[in-house]
Amino acid sequence: MRTKMEPMTLSQKTMLVICLRTVVGQNNEVITFFFDIIELTNTSADSIKNAILTNLSSHRFDNNFLKLNLIAFVSDGASTMLGRVAALYQHFTTAVNDGLRTSKEKSKYLGLQRHLASIEFVTNLGIMYDALCELADLSTSLRNRSHTFTQVNRYIQRRIMVFDSMAENYGPRTKEAIDSCEELSFKSIPLISNKAIPKINPLQFFRSLSYNLGSRLFTTLSSNVSMQGNELKNIYTQLLSDLDVFEPKNWSDQFDIQYGDSAIRTLANVFQVDARSVINGFREFKDLGDGRDTFRPK
């Protein structure tokens, strides 16, 4: 679910646009569509939450259905819904000085305030922001069903290079956070050190991300097999080249019926499956799979 607050109408009430993202059809296609637009009595977080739930309920989306099917909620970034560091800090500060609160409540908010205003938290926040932005971009790219194995592999390799670079050449948010910590001020919040909070080492963190992404790339070897780098690279490149024969857009308008059979035999050997049955299946795929007449006389 995604929401977006729009300017007020003539009635001086803020409008909330609700969109839903779901999977439809036999191909499990992901679509996002407009669901409804509602007026808000006010823009507090509780009011928005209640307005959304009431609207969903009016469309027969009850709590049981939402528990089973609602995966996530995303807002447009409005400070009311997501909050901002400075606003949270001010909220915690106000709570600490609130004479109506108990000493236990004040102690809790004081702890949150100190956590938020710590050098360690701000540093970690900047590092995680840069990392998650890169991973979100990669995730968006990988959702494209038209990508080939080679393209997907390249997207992952490119992100690995980005993380390798970020280990020493910090991303924008990491740099902003580190600079703020050196100045002991972030968003006008005075910063102090809090040794109780583990501080992320950006060099180790981004190299770890790079390594973990690399471990998810295609491989032709078992984990206990040792091989020289160039030899492994050649085998790896050949594997991706062989996989490309599955992409109809790589086929010429006219090709021999045995096109790709050699690559299929190689792949069958790599994955230890029966070559004859795979080749026959591949020929049927070429003939019928993309819905066109591929076997034209040469």
Domain boundaries, the chain: 1-74, 76-217, 229-288
pLDDT digits (tens, 9 = 90+) for 4-21: 555 444 455 677 888 888
Residue 132: what residue type?
Answer: L
Contact 203, 138 (CB under 8 A): no
pTM above 0.85, yes or no: no
pLDDT digits (tens, 9 = 90+) for 136-194: 888 888 887 777 777 888 888 899 999 999 999 999 999 999 999 999 998 888 999 99
pLDDT band at 50 (very low <50, low <70, confident <90, very high): confident
Burial class (CB in 10 A: 0-12, 13-18, 19+), 69: exposed
Cβ-proximal residues to 93 (8 Å cutoff; 6+ apart), any chain: 113
Neighbours of 101 (CB within 10 A): 15
